[in-house]
Amino acid sequence: MSEPTRVGRIDFVNSDPVYHGIETGEVEADIRLVEGFPAALNEMLARGEIDIAPVSSIEYARRSDDYYLLPDLSVSSRAEVGSVSLFSSVPAEELDGATVALASTSATSVVLLKILLDERYGVSPEYIVREPDAEAMLAEADAGLVIGDHALLAERDDETDAHVYDLGREWREHTDERMVYAVWAVRNDVPRSEALGVAEALQESKRVGYEAIDTIASDLAERMSLDPGYARSYLGMLDHDLTPSHIRGLTKYYEKAERIDEIETVPEITVKK
Ligand SMILES: C=C(O[C@@H]1C=C(C(=O)O)C=C[C@H]1O)C(=O)O
């Protein structure tokens, strides 16, 4: 018998809808889920420790010769995202020469922030990388970027008068496009039929997840002590598709990332069905 495919699972609630059917057992798949924060999954896929993973979309641009993408899967937002947040003790316009802490868990949002601070706010701070703890970041730096559950919890607990910037909303206002934070990548050496079997299971799992979205929201509200209405609206800000409009937003992001030298070239986006 062959070994189950090793599939990454972002350890944030932003991915609950995609894995719901698999995790409840409603969808069967010959896979082993490996959980991690995005930056860790990026590394694990590159090192061959897992076969398929939701990687930071910037990571795909950096390794597009070695990877291809699974269809109809992403972590994206149309505008406001709720969980990619810059907490800043001063307005963003005043961050020139200031110190900005970047969460070690992130890759896409780090580059997104650099693009926005450069193009939208015209500032160039010093960047440092830190554990994803907004309070500790603000104690050491002028601003801090956190993502995922750490951002949701930081907003829930925030009692400071920090300026909070939602980077999904900032991106929408800046470009009029969606933001694609993560895509499901496969290493080229993984057999195509195996990857497509996993893609089908994930898509079915996502379909089941969206049918159960109210249940997922109430579980989330309970687990993270969030207001139930907010938990539901948070899940509604996210989407997990990869349509031509997502590809257009992603391409715009890559063009801007290339302009600030975060990637060498804008990659061809290869989705295999
Ligand atoms: C929407 C989010 O997008 C995330 C941000 C990522 C990044 O910055 O590299 C990667 C995957 C996503 O989990 C979030 O963190 O909530």
Check whether residue 198 and residue 115 sit in a common domain. no
With respect to residue 272, please indicate whether it lies within any of the assigned structural domains: no
Q: What is the per-residue pLDDT for 160?
A: 84
The CB of 84 under 6 Å from ligand 1? The reply is: yes
The CB of 109 under 6 Å from ligand 1? The reply is: yes
Which of 134, 151, 175 is the last residue in one of the domains? Answer: 175
Check whether residue 242 and residue 216 sit in a common domain. yes
Check whether residue 169 and residue 90 sit in a common domain. yes
Structural domain harbouring 200: 5-78+179-259
pTM > 0.90: yes or no? yes
Check whether residue 187 and residue 122 sit in a common domain. no
The CB of 146 under 6 Å from ligand 1? The reply is: no
What average pLDDT does this structure show over 41-58?
Answer: 98
The CB of 103 under 6 Å from ligand 1? The reply is: no
Q: What is the per-residue pLDDT for 128?
A: 98
Beta-strand runs (E) in the chain: 5-10, 31-36, 52-56, 67-77, 84-88, 99-103, 126-130, 143-147, 163-166, 179-187, 238-239
Q: Compute CA distances 264 → 63, 118, 248, 256, 267, whole Å.
A: 11, 18, 19, 11, 9
Check whether residue 248 and residue 185 sit in a common domain. yes
Check whether residue 96 and residue 168 sit in a common domain. yes
Burial letters 111-136, b for 16+ CB under 10 A, else e: bbbbbbbeebbebebeeeebebbbee
Q: Mean pLDDT in the chain?
A: 97
* pLDDT above 90 (res 161): no
With respect to residue 226, please indicate whether it lies within any of the assigned structural domains: yes
Which of 143, 175, 207 is the last residue in one of the domains? Answer: 175
Check whether residue 132 and residue 212 sit in a common domain. no
* pLDDT above 60 (res 147): yes
The CB of 74 under 6 Å from ligand 1? The reply is: no
With respect to residue 267, please indicate whether it lies within any of the assigned structural domains: no
Give the CATH number for residue 230: 3.40.190.10
With respect to residue 29, please indicate whether it lies within any of the assigned structural domains: yes
**Cα atoms in the Cβ-side hemisphere of radius 13 Å centred on 112:** 33
What average pLDDT does this structure show over 64-83?
Answer: 98
What average pLDDT does this structure show over 9-36?
Answer: 98
Check whether residue 255 and residue 202 sit in a common domain. yes
127, two tokens? 């960047």
Ligand 1 centroid to 2 CA: how many Å?
32
Q: What is the per-residue pLDDT for 8?
A: 98
With respect to residue 273, please indicate whether it lies within any of the assigned structural domains: no
The CB of 108 under 6 Å from ligand 1? The reply is: yes
Residues 19, 54 contacting (CB under 8 angstroms) = no
As a whole-number percent, the residues of the chain with pLDDT over 70 amount to: 100
Q: Candidates 59, 108, 167, 171: which one to mutate for ligand 1, based on the most atoms within 8 Å of Cβ?
A: 108
What average pLDDT does this structure show over 224-252?
Answer: 97
Ligand 1 centroid to 169 CA: how many Å?
14
Which of 175, 194, 218 is the last residue in one of the domains? Answer: 175
Q: How many domains does the chain have?
A: 2
Q: pLDDT per residue over 109-139, tens digit each?
A: 999 999 999 999 999 999 999 999 999 999 9
With respect to residue 266, please indicate whether it lies within any of the assigned structural domains: no
How far is residue 228's CA from residue 250's CA, in Å, rounded to a whole number?
A: 31
The CB of 42 under 6 Å from ligand 1? The reply is: no
Q: What is the per-residue pLDDT for 1?
A: 57
The CB of 85 under 6 Å from ligand 1? The reply is: no
Atom of ligand 1 nearest to the CA of 81: 1
- Positive or negative, the CA dihedral 59, 60, 63, 68 is positive
As a whole-number percent, the residues of the chain with pLDDT over 90 amount to: 97
* pLDDT above 90 (res 31): yes
Q: What is the per-residue pLDDT for 159?
A: 86
pLDDT confidence bin for 273, thresholds 50/70/90 = confident
